[in-house]
Amino acid sequence: MVTGAGGPRRRLLPRGYGFAIAGIAVGMAGLVALGALADRISRFIDGGHRFVLGQISVAGAGLGTGAGFTAGGLLPKRTIDAIRRVPGVALVQAQVMLPLNPSTSELFSVNQELVLGVDLGVPTPNRNYPSFPIAHGRDLAPGDRGRVVVGAELAASRTLRPPASLRIGDRDFEVVGILERLLTAPDRFAIVPIEDARDLWLALDPTVRALYRTGGTLAADDLNTGAAVGWTSGVDPDALAARIRREVAGVNVAAPGEVARQLSASTAFFRWLMVAVAGIGLLIGGLSLSNTVAAATFERIRDFGIKQALGASDGQLLGEVLRESLTVSLAGGVIGTVLAILAGLAIDARAAQAGQQLFLFSGRLVAFAVGFAAALGAVAGVYASVRILRVPPAEAIRRGA
Amino acid sequence: MLDVLRGVDVTLTPGEMLAVVGRSGSGKSTLLNLLGCLDRSDGGELWFGDERLTGAGRGSRARFRGRHLGFVFQAYHLIPELTVWENVLLAARYVGRARAEAEEAARKLLQRLGVAARVAHYPPTLSGGEQQRVAFCRAMLNDPAVILADEPTGNLDADNAGVLLAELRARAHDGGSAVLLVTHSAELAHSADRVLTLADGQLTPVGA
């Protein structure tokens, strides 16, 4: 009596593929992790590009005042008004940008912690960031004083969450909101009303303080390190920047195109690093995967011969190998991706204590990794099968014995 | 190039059990592989009834093997990653045989050969005799017109060898299959209806 058989079990895979799946998983974990590192760098750079391309940044002529992209000389109110009158200008928002910690924030230009004071009475002119998305709490509102919205990395590094307070200079600010993680510069911003930023600036800079308090012509509205300028629809922002430069005296104008080119030049190292990291990931992961699948297929050369003796056609065998290769590759790809994500999250949990995030596991990356694994696995399996099928069945059985 | 077989002319008749004997390296397995379309010859012709197999395409040869041939190897050649049940039914998969019918035939064969209790086991856990009986079930599943057995009892003890030999004889004499047995064992060859000797690439009747 034949019992317990119940028909052939339709398994996706015969036994013995565990090692192949493990090998693929390791290679794919490496690929996904390196891809996530590359994506993280890419997002940082692209975010910067997106920001500078969304506005014309203007600072006062000269050196030594302020920080970040508004670094330059003082930009008094009359100059801002002059900019506002230039044809093509839609919005001008006065800003004050200062280092959060004057003793250390200037050391790393791409990683500064900055105080950004914004004129809340004027809509943000940046076309690409009309407002920063808020993860917790709320955005600043006109009339706010002594309140701050904090970038995600800055908040994480200081474990801030509303309600909380943040000490800037010698003042405590009420944290009313935390920005979503943008993976670019604003992640390390402390955004405050411009009036508070001016007070901080005066407290920080004895020269400005002296000028302001000597009873001269410098009013509070004149204490701006720069301005963000928006343009009306249809206007070429680079042409408008050139016009502002021509028509308004005493300004340093950063045209979006020029800044983007400078940013590209300054971040070229990181871009190439990203390309190299992604390329190495693809190479290692791809070689590991294709080698494992091909080796697993070549190991079954005797099975090919036996199945041919039983009447299997080339098409049937190729179909079997294709199905098995796809299943093995997908299983290895998915397991490797999960391993990479778990490892990345664990590392990022530690890095978050310093306000950092090293990995970016995007849906695009995961989809690419799994698709790459499946496609390469299928190609490797079919390649190995075609090679085996060139061998006569008798020889295949003999070689595998 | 080495001429293994020269001027070999052999006809297998339904219901006949033919043994080919010869020393190791005499070309017995080569002959069996050529007759079983597992290899191609440099010359000569191969016919099955009025179907000319010489020059047939890979697909035609695969179909021929699946529908008309049953192989019994000395080393069993079961697939170790598949269970006994899966191994036996493999023979039906490639010829497009109805599943229920193939399963019924597999059950009968496994019971007849005394390995029905082992269906869920994997080949490496079976004894040599059990593995050969499973391999025999797989070879017989599609009721082949021609059975090609290469040293089928070479790795078996006397009891298992006796069982297998009796099955092969029954297939020939009761089932009408043509059985070609290649062996270097004179004792095994004597149980065949006709015995040919392969030496120096040529077949000659024993005693001729």
Between residues B122 and A43, which one has the greater pLDDT? B122
Is the minimum CB–CB distance between B111 and chain A shorter than 8 Å? yes
Q: Which residues pair with A174 in a beta bridge?
A: A147, A165
Most confident of A29-43, A305-319, A321-335: A305-319
Question: E-strand spans in A169-258?
Answer: 171-179, 189-193, 226-231, 251-254
Report, as an integer, the average pLDDT of B32-52.
89
Using the predicted structure, report yes or no on whether residue A7 has a pLDDT greater than 50.
Answer: no
Report, as an integer, the average pLDDT of A255-278.
78
Is the minimum CB–CB distance between B52 and chain A shorter than 8 Å? no
Using the predicted structure, report yes or no on whether residue A10 has a pLDDT greater than 60.
Answer: no
Domain with residue B134: its CATH number is 3.40.50.300
What pLDDT digit, counting tens, does each position of B59-107 carry? 999 999 999 999 999 999 999 989 999 999 999 999 989 999 999 999 9
Tell me whether residue B9 is in a domain.
no
Least confident of A11-20, A105-114, A195-204, A302-311: A105-114
Q: Answer yes or no: do B94 and A311 touch at CB < 8 A.
A: yes
Q: Tell me, what's the pLDDT at A71?
A: 57
Is the minimum CB–CB distance between B74 and chain A shorter than 8 Å? no
Using the predicted structure, report yes or no on whether residue B150 has a pLDDT greater than 60.
Answer: yes
B-chain CB neighbours of A316 within 8 Å are 94
- 3-class SS shares of chain A: helix, strand, coil, % to 5: 55, 15, 30
A-chain CB neighbours of B109 within 8 Å are none
pTM above 0.80, yes or no: no
Using the predicted structure, report yes or no on whether residue A34 has a pLDDT greater than 60.
Answer: yes
Q: Tell me, what's the pLDDT at B136?
A: 95
Q: Answer yes or no: do A14 and B103 touch at CB < 8 A.
A: no
Q: Answer yes or no: do B138 and A310 touch at CB < 8 A.
A: yes
Using the predicted structure, report yes or no on whether residue A37 has a pLDDT greater than 90.
Answer: no
Using the predicted structure, report yes or no on whether residue B208 has a pLDDT greater than 60.
Answer: no
Q: Answer yes or no: do B82 and A309 touch at CB < 8 A.
A: no
Tell me whether residue B112 is in a domain.
yes
Q: With left for phi above 0 and alpha for psi between -120 and 50, is residue A367 left, alpha or beta?
A: alpha
Nearest neighbour of B86 by CB, restricted to A9, A16, A316: A9
Tell me whether residue B84 is in a domain.
yes
CB A228 within 8 A of CB A131: no
The helix (run of H) or strand (run of E) holding residue A19 is helix A18-52
Least confident of A102-116, A212-226, B18-32, B83-97: A102-116
Tell me whether residue B178 is in a domain.
yes
A-chain CB neighbours of B119 within 8 Å are 2-5
Q: Answer yes or no: do B66 and A314 touch at CB < 8 A.
A: no
Q: Tell me, what's the pLDDT at A11?
A: 60
Tell me whether residue B92 is in a domain.
yes
To the nearest whole Å, the CA of B207 is away from the closest chain A CA by: 31
Tell me whether residue B35 is in a domain.
yes
A-chain CB neighbours of B142 within 8 Å are 311
Using the predicted structure, report yes or no on whether residue A102 has a pLDDT greater than 90.
Answer: no
Between residues A211 and A140, which one has the greater pLDDT? A140
B-chain CB neighbours of A9 within 8 Å are 83, 85-86
CB B134 within 8 A of CB B152: no
Report, as an integer, the average pLDDT of A383-396.
93
Q: Tell me, what's the pLDDT at A177?
A: 92
Cβ atoms within 10 Å, residue A21 = 22
Using the predicted structure, report yes or no on whether residue A121 has a pLDDT greater than 90.
Answer: no
Using the predicted structure, report yes or no on whether residue A3 has a pLDDT greater than 70.
Answer: no
Using the predicted structure, report yes or no on whether residue A8 has a pLDDT greater than 50.
Answer: no
Q: Is B57 exposed, middle or buried (0-12, 13-18, 19+ CB in 10 A)?
A: exposed
Q: Residue B49: give the domain boundaries.
A: 17-205
The percent of residues in chain A predicted with pLDDT above 90, rounded, is 26
Please tell me which residue of chain B has the smallest CA distance to A303: B79
B-chain CB neighbours of A309 within 8 Å are 36, 38, 65, 69, 71, 77
Q: Answer yes or no: do B62 and A306 touch at CB < 8 A.
A: no
Tell me whether residue B57 is in a domain.
yes
Average pLDDT, chain A: 83
Q: Tell me, what's the pLDDT at A12?
A: 56
A-chain CB neighbours of B89 within 8 Å are 8
Residues in contact with A51: Cβ distance below 8 Å, sequence separation at least 6, in sequence order: A126, A128, A129, A184, A185, A186
Give the B window 147-206 contacts with A, CB below 8 Å. Answer: none
Cβ atoms within 10 Å, residue A233 = 6
Using the predicted structure, report yes or no on whether residue A6 has a pLDDT greater than 80.
Answer: no
Q: Answer yes or no: do A393 and B39 touch at CB < 8 A.
A: yes
Tell me whether residue B11 is in a domain.
no
Using the predicted structure, report yes or no on whether residue A110 has a pLDDT greater than 60.
Answer: no
* Structural domain count of chain B: 1
Q: Tell me, what's the pLDDT at A69?
A: 52
Please tell me which residue of chain A has the smallest CA distance to B67: A311
Is the minimum CB–CB distance between B71 and chain A shorter than 8 Å? yes
Is residue A302 very low, low, confident or very high in pLDDT (cuts 50, 70, 90)? very high
Q: Answer yes or no: do A15 and B122 touch at CB < 8 A.
A: yes
Q: Answer yes or no: do A397 and B81 touch at CB < 8 A.
A: no
Residues in contact with A380: Cβ distance below 8 Å, sequence separation at least 6, in sequence order: A289, A290, A291, A293, A294, A297, A325
Q: Answer yes or no: do A2 and B116 touch at CB < 8 A.
A: yes
ipTM: 0.93
